[in-house]
Amino acid sequence: MNDAASLRAQLDRLARNLRWFYDHPTRTLFQDLAAPLDGIAGDDPVAVVQALDDAALTRLTGDAAAMDRIRGLVAALDGELAGAPDLSDGARVVAYLSAEFGLCDPLHTYSGGLGVLAGDHLRSASDLALPLVAAGLAYRDGYFTQTVDAHGQQHAEPAPNDLEHSAAEPVVDRTGARLTVEVPMGDGVVMVQAWRVAVGRVPLILLDTDVAGNAPHHRDITRHLYGGDQDTRIRQELVLGVGGVRMLDAMGIQPALYHLNEGHAAFAGLERLGVHRREGKDLDGALSALREELQFTTHTPVPAGHDTFDHGLAEHHLRPLADHLGIAFEGLWPLATGGDFHTWNQTVLALKLAGRTNGVARLHGEVSRSMFASLWPDRPVEEVPIDHVTNGVHPTSWTGPEIAALLDAYVPGWRRGTDPAAWKLLREVDREVLWQARTRARGRLLEAVRARTAVRAARTGASAGGEGLDPEALTIGFARRFATYKRGALMLRDLDRLGAILGDDDRPVQILVAGKAHPADRDGQGVLRHLVDTSTDPRLKGRLVFIEGYDLELGGLLTSGCDVWLNTPLRPKEASGTSGMKSAMNGGLNLSVLDGWWDEAVSDQGPLAEEGIGWSIGDRSPVPDPAARDAADAEELYRLLAEEVVPTFHERDADDLPQRWLTMALDAIVLLSPVYSTHRMVHDYGVRYGVREG
């Protein structure tokens, strides 16, 4: 192998392990390599390697500094992989099944927060060397790429996954042939193949029905992420649950625990039930054994977020599986129904099969117990067996380079540590140094926003507002899926009051908004359209800016660069809302309704109980009338902005430093980062439920 070929192989190894997403030196390398390449983005390392011709590689081999840099990164990757756990030791292995994984923007295998959380779970599992393997679906077409026209109308553009030219590699058997498994459905057996994606030390297995020999409509099962009708949905979930268990078994992996990330993967429980039945156990014995190995996490308090199928559709597709289990379909039906639930419900199925169930925040656990209390009619609501493990975020992925540099200097081991005491060392940082870091992060964000809004302006011919952004202004971020319960337009209820806040030239304030609405959600698209249309209102002076194309890169820019993270869901419909955690890790302050994780963070037992950093909108008292709640919360939002948030940011000392603000920002990093981390989260899963994930 010549020098150029050897270099290509080294770069390809770095590109095909998605560790690059959260390893800043590796990510920067590919951004630098992409700079002279036309049309190639640095956030797609595989594309960068494929675009480098032999002449470019030969030039690189002659650059001693570049070669030292690359060799060092390869050595670091090799050193990390050398510590990977042995997945052949099934007594310790956890299988994590999810319908989506937010890993990097070039791989369109996620739609929103559920997938981003799943991606962070894998990244922390890698950092902590947990014996974990994940399984999902290999979508040929991802969620969608968003564009927004001059009238504020969202357009869903294709987001294809070219798996053959991605970081994914085929899963093969010992002979080198594609490994396949069979999944029975109502109209025949579907062959499923798989792709392996490396996330640091964690393998992610993506299941794919685009297999030669499958009927065309079977090949299309894994084509679209959350696409199609209910028939497609139940087929996808059979591939995920049944196919996931069978593929891991075919690969020689025998997990001790199956962790179902939302009800999409609930059919894995039926497949494992069949395994126990074939070992000779009766149904009660098989269910008992299954409950010892099944962990279920539910993620949404919104009823529409729980998949249901009518009797006819469920019977059609599950009868072959029931026959395989030696159980009549009518014997399966009660496992997914009961209480207030009269159709086949995937969440109910998971609740009845799993020995351990949790929501993703303390309040969400309470709401979930109430939602599903009818399944346990003889128990008080507080004794319904649904606990909670509060979500977290992956520190290295979401801490921007500015704050990461300070943590590297003051908090050794922060990237993989979970000890809250260690983070207190950051309190030694000079306040001016912290302010400079925050200012650089804000500037980096605004530069990227200007570039993105300029692209939209050039395409639509309408001003997108980014040109007027002020690097000295208090910058508020609001970015999420535009579901109506998230109340994206709450801030717009009184434009005169909002205009007074945004229009003050002596105390400048600007709001950056991003997010997608589901293509089928007309109400959500209406909220988005209203925001875009209102951003041109002269009372707001161009200081409300919408950025199209919400993705992981933009999410990272916003959460690391915004000074305040705004969250206004209708309580208690927000299960967790991890964007605010990401912002806090970067010294951003939360301005949030008392919902999700923020509700517990500022409770009497939370990490912020005494410090009182951040601001809470409203209170915990129930308000039956949503319109009254909207009015009260909007009033409180405007009051907090005008009387507390804006003055605190713009109040400066003799050195032009906002000392009180910096105290709050420092507390946000020190107190919240170790608590709302996926490192802590995966540790909690192991300890709280008596199953070691490491």
For residue 106, pLDDT over 50 is answered with yes
Predicted local distance difference test score (pLDDT) of residue 226: 86
Residue range 311-333: average pLDDT? Answer: 94
Percent of the chain whose pLDDT exceeds 70 = 97
132 and 60 both lie in a single domain: no
For residue 612, pLDDT over 70 is answered with no
Look at residue 625 and tell me if it is in a domain.
yes
The counts of H helices and E strands in the chain are 28, 20
442 and 585 both lie in a single domain: yes
> Which region holds residue 205: left if phi is over 0, alpha if psi is between -120 and 50, else beta?
beta
499 and 377 both lie in a single domain: no
11 and 94 both lie in a single domain: no
Residue 113's closest CA among 564, 510, 434, 559?
559
Look at residue 98 and tell me if it is in a domain.
yes
Predicted local distance difference test score (pLDDT) of residue 460: 92
Rounded (5°) CA angle 555-472-584: 40
Predicted local distance difference test score (pLDDT) of residue 609: 45
For residue 125, pLDDT over 50 is answered with yes
| HSE-CB of 515 using CA atoms within 13 angstroms | 27
Q: Which of 81, 98, 131 is the endpoint of a domain?
A: 81
Look at residue 694 and tell me if it is in a domain.
no
pLDDT band for 429, please (50, 70, 90 cuts). very high
Q: Which of 53, 81, 109 is the endpoint of a domain?
A: 81
477 and 558 both lie in a single domain: yes
Burial class (CB in 10 A: 0-12, 13-18, 19+), 33: buried
- CB neighbour list of residue 56: distance below 8 Å, 6 or more residues apart: none
Residue 95's closest CA among 223, 225, 235, 251?
251
Residue type, 157: E
Predicted local distance difference test score (pLDDT) of residue 239: 98
Q: What is the pLDDT of residues 530-563, one digit of tens each?
A: 999 999 999 999 999 999 999 999 999 999 999 9
550 and 606 both lie in a single domain: yes
171 and 273 both lie in a single domain: yes
Q: What is the pLDDT of residues 452-510, one digit of tens each?
A: 999 999 999 877 677 889 999 999 999 999 999 999 999 999 999 999 999 999 999 99
pLDDT band for 304, please (50, 70, 90 cuts). confident
Predicted local distance difference test score (pLDDT) of residue 533: 94
The average confidence (pLDDT) of the chain is 94
Residue range 76-103: average pLDDT? Answer: 93
Q: How far apart are CA 315 and CA 476, in angstroms?
A: 50
Other CB atoms within 10 A of residue 415 CB: 17
Residue range 567-578: average pLDDT? Answer: 94
Predicted local distance difference test score (pLDDT) of residue 401: 96
380 and 403 both lie in a single domain: no
Burial class (CB in 10 A: 0-12, 13-18, 19+), 640: middle
For residue 157, pLDDT over 50 is answered with yes
For residue 693, pLDDT over 50 is answered with no
Look at residue 545 and tell me if it is in a domain.
yes
Residue-number span of the structural domain to which 262 is assigned = 90-147+154-391+683-688
pTM of the model: 0.96
Is residue 620 within 8 Å of residue 595, measured between CB atoms? Answer: no
Predicted local distance difference test score (pLDDT) of residue 133: 97
230 and 347 both lie in a single domain: yes
Predicted local distance difference test score (pLDDT) of residue 690: 59
Q: What is the pLDDT of residues 13-31, one digit of tens each?
A: 999 999 999 999 999 999 9
Enclosing H/E stretch for 353: helix 346-353
Look at residue 567 and tell me if it is in a domain.
yes
Q: How far apart are CA 214 and CA 236, in angstroms?
A: 15
Look at residue 693 and tell me if it is in a domain.
no
Q: Which of 29, 50, 81 is the endpoint of a domain?
A: 81
Residue range 294-301: average pLDDT? Answer: 95
- CB neighbour list of residue 548: distance below 8 Å, 6 or more residues apart: 146, 147, 148, 452, 456, 514
169 has which bridge partners? Answer: 196
For residue 382, pLDDT over 80 is answered with yes
Predicted local distance difference test score (pLDDT) of residue 623: 79
32 and 109 both lie in a single domain: no
76 and 94 both lie in a single domain: no
Look at residue 349 and tell me if it is in a domain.
yes
Structure tokens at 525: 């698209």
Number of domains in the chain: 3
Write the DSSP string, 424-486: GGGGGS-HHHHHHHHHHHHHHHHHHHHHHHHHHHHHHSS--SGGG--TTSEEEEEES---GGG
Is residue 97 within 8 Å of residue 293, measured between CB atoms? Answer: no
CATH assignment of the domain containing 558: 3.40.50.2000
Residue 138's closest CA among 57, 64, 228, 244?
244
Predicted local distance difference test score (pLDDT) of residue 607: 56
Q: How far apart are CA 464 and CA 452, in angstroms?
A: 9
62 and 187 both lie in a single domain: no
Residue range 619-628: average pLDDT? Answer: 87
Residue 207's closest CA among 221, 189, 219, 195?
195
Q: How far apart are CA 169 and CA 190, in angstroms?
A: 21
Look at residue 232 and tell me if it is in a domain.
yes
Length of the chain: 694
